[in-house]
A and B are shown apart, each in its own frame.
Chain A
Amino acid sequence: MGTAVGAAVAGVVVNRILTARRRNLWPMSTVTQDGRRPRWHVVTVNRPPEEVAPGGRLPEPLAKLGDQVEVQVNRAVGDRGTALAARLRHEPTGVVGTAARVAGTDPRQQVRLALRESKMLLETGEILQPDKPGTVKHTITGKPLDLAISRARGEGRL
């Protein structure tokens, strides 16, 4: 119980993997609480840490984000696999952030997408694709929903 504890990651390679007997120190929360840094986005992956980041290599969708994000790979609370967490080094804020969100260029959307896709790959072996073509009828009233659908894989509370 509780071997691989924290791995702070820059870009593609897990730089250091710490080991400890007990995880009484949740490595993410201490930094988040300063209220100034972007928050961590976390998914629980139902696989052991050795499979999530074998030899320190991150799952492909996260690795692709490179230096934009810090990544942590921890044994999940309650031994439920692995907590895979990512945090942007810089997040757009205010009007710029909102505009990026609508335009689909918000890096937070890419982080959520990368985490979700990593989890799917690790748990099921592939990334579930939506039915294609999606909407075939484009109407004026359907526009807001079309926009929401096109962002739905990278949006949410994750």
Chain B
Amino acid sequence: MRALCWEGVNELAVEEVPDPQLQNKQDMIIKVKLSATCGSDLHLVDGYIPAMRAGDVIGHEFLGEVVETGPEVRKHRVGDRVVVCSVIACGRCWFCEQGLFSCCDNGNTNPGIPEMMWGQSPAGIFGYSHAMGGFKGSHAEYVRVPYADRGAFTVPDGVDDATALFASDAAPTGYMGADLGEVKAGDVVAVWGAGGVGQMAAQSAMLKGAARVIVIDRFDYRLDMAAHHLGVETLNYEETDIDGELRERSDGRGPDVCIEAVGMEAHTPNPVAYRWEQLKQQTRVLELDRPHALRQAIMVCRKGGMVYVLGVFAGWIDKFPMGALMNKGLTMRSAQQHGERYIPMLLERMSRGEFKTAHLMTHPMPLSEGARGYDLFKHKKDGCVRAVFYPDGDGRVTRG
């Protein structure tokens, strides 16, 4: 089959790779219909996620049709239209039972690698390096889905492909930020990053009853999209002082909940400071992750507030404002998304038209144009928010 493979830093190519096979009784094989680019992939493409091998198939946000089921798959039948959680979790270990699916003990087939990096091993993730299990990704014609009854969800008839696709990753990630960030009615919520994840977090905060939701980015086309589709407030950090604006908009307190949806390659507005952060990151020793947005979130958050980190980090950072965190009594939480916890509810809301996602798919294109899709997405060209691939020759993308 054809698949989009990581070949090295900033090198992607569509190649012929072996078809996936059922390996476990609880597996199934999906024929991929849509597979989206995600900000997390940029960290792989840019070479900041360790344990990538040339030839690894990337992609983890996807929807497709069941073509083969293992003998112990009960919930799904051949022909079902399913959306699959990007995180691979067993659903039966203690962590899964607590709803901490991305901390699953049994979803990662290479636990030795993350244990050495982070002390404990999180769950597996499709197409997200050998540290996360080395599972083949979804930018392919077919993909194997382990623990299929746990990670795949039948899409309700009334929900179109382009909407349901984002129930795989961006939507549950954003929802988790608002939910575990404990957004309450009347809260002022600030969200860093107007990509797919930030927009979904902002929407979720509104659903939780936040009084004001303010999305921060520097790309006006993304901010305009968030304002237009989700009705949130926006701030362009290149044009205004974020600290001052957020204080004003929260009556001098600072936001109750700050959601970071930027991650380890944050941009820093001051060009000299930005270059310095990049240099430190290149050494891999001074810092592995660039945390500008995270620092800002901690500095502006109100006393006793919550900082929820959705952006992906892989190693260590420099100048973490521990003093602000400690003395202001902040709570900081983070996770890879616990998707299995939210996907059924999100699909339900999508079927009632209460959760908007389809607008994120700005660039549907055939898989053969994968490298171009990532170029548009990475460099934020041509109004790209998410490039979405479909198998060549299959141009049927349904949108509500």
Contact = CB atoms under 8 A, between A and B. Distances in A.
A103 interface: no
A81 B93 CA distance: 10
B58 to A, nearest CB: 13
Given A139-B54, A149-B130, A156-B111, A80 B116 contact: no
B130 A131 contact: no
A46 B93 contact: yes
Contacts of B111: 116, 152-153, 156, 158
A80 to B, nearest CB: 6
Nearest to B135: A131
Nearest to A130: B109
Contacts of B130: 145, 148-149, 152
A44 B90 CA distance: 15
Interface in A108-137: 112, 116, 119-120, 123-137
Contacts, number: 115
Nearest to B124: A128
Contact of B54 (A116, A142, A151, A157): A142
Given A46-B92, A139-B54, A142-B54, A126 B24 contact: yes
Interface string B110-149: 1111111001110000000010011110000000101100
Contact of B134 (A112, A120, A131, A136): A131
Nearest to B133: A130
Interface string B1-41: 00000000000000001101101111000000000000000
A126 B146 CA distance: 11
Given A128-B109, A130-B109, A136-B55, A46 B134 contact: no
Chain A binding surface SS class: loop
B46 to A, nearest CB: 17
A152 B90 contact: no
B51 interface: yes
Contacts of A151: 112
B115 A124 contact: no
B105 interface: yes
Given A46-B94, A146-B53, A133 B18 contact: yes
A149 B51 CA distance: 9
A131 B90 contact: no
A154 B133 CA distance: 13
A51 interface: no
Contacts of A153: 109-112
B238 interface: no
Interface in B67-101: 72, 90, 92-94, 97
B53 A137 contact: yes
B292 to A, nearest CB: 30
A153 B115 CA distance: 11
B399 to A, nearest CB: 31
A46 B109 contact: no
Given A126-B25, A128-B107, 15 more contacts: A44-B94, A46-B93, A119-B106, A123-B93, A123-B106, A130-B110, A131-B20, A137-B55, A139-B54, A142-B54, A148-B51, A149-B53, A149-B110, A149-B130, A152-B130
20 contacts: A46-B92, A123-B105, A124-B92, A124-B147, A125-B72, A128-B147, A130-B110, A130-B134, A131-B23, A131-B135, A135-B53, A142-B54, A145-B51, A148-B113, A149-B51, A152-B110, A152-B113, A153-B110, A156-B116, A157-B119
